[in-house]
Amino acid sequence: MSPDDIPLLFHTSRRVRREELRQFLGELTRRVARGRTIACLIADDVEIRRLNRQFRGKNHATDVLSFPAAEANGLAGDIAISAEIAAANAKRLQHSTGDEIKILALHGVLHLSGYDHERDDGQMARTEARLRKEMKLPVGLIERRGDEEALKRKDREGSQRSLRKPVTASARGRNKAAASNANTNVRVARARAR
């Protein structure tokens, strides 16, 4: 299948390098979808939210949605990518929006090919990482989510550790002084009360 034959639809005002994306989708068709057709929608958050609500029952925009073909008739299925979330992720991660859209497309096409990172003991993550490196793309979606989870765990552990933080010698001295002052204030208040 020629990249010109790949259905690529836009429902966004964001600028996207269409020919570059079409070429990349052609490569995904050959390497990941085993020649089966992929249709791709690049949309704004309003449209992605509508699709997510309609097909997954989740009333929020998401980065990428995958819709596997019902029958194996030469179609892999459809993917829908949020141009707005892609742009925000790209800015936050300091790479181009085009690269972010490619990362999301790779992730979505892996789902169309039967991978499921929530159930496959890391097979999709390993495949995504390998393909991402071969295609010279920045950090992938699964790796990024894993890093974010690790950072959240680290933050949670850090905040729990700070609750049990040992008292330093200088803090002990300040605490003794504060306690002494408090005791003095209590003694003075009692003396005045008598």
Q: Read off the pLDDT of residues 29-58 as tens digits, 9 standing for 90 and up.
A: 999 988 888 999 999 999 999 999 999 999
Kindly indicate the confidence band of residue 15, based on its pLDDT and cuts at 50, 70 and 90. Answer: confident
Give the separation between CA 59 and CA 187, rounded to whole angstroms. 63
As a whole number of Å, the end-to-end CA separation of the chain is: 98
Summarize pLDDT for 51-94 with one digit per residue, the tens: 999 999 999 999 999 999 987 788 899 999 999 999 999 998 88
Q: Is the overall model pTM greater than 0.75, yes or no?
A: no
Q: What is the DSSP string of 112-161?
A: HTT--TTTSTTHHHHHHHHHHHHTT-SS-HHHHHHHHHHHHHHHHHHHHH
Give the DSSP letter of residue 35: T
Summarize pLDDT for 146-176 with one digit per residue, the tens: 655 544 554 555 544 433 333 333 343 444 4
- Going edge to edge, which strands form the sheet with 37-43? 8-11, 37-43, 75-82, 64-68
| CATH ID of 3-150, from 2.40.50.140, 3.40.390.30, 3.40.50.720, 3.30.70.660 | 3.40.390.30
Within 10 angstroms of residue 53's Cβ, the number of other Cβ atoms is 13
Give the separation between CA 65 and CA 58, rounded to whole angstroms. 12
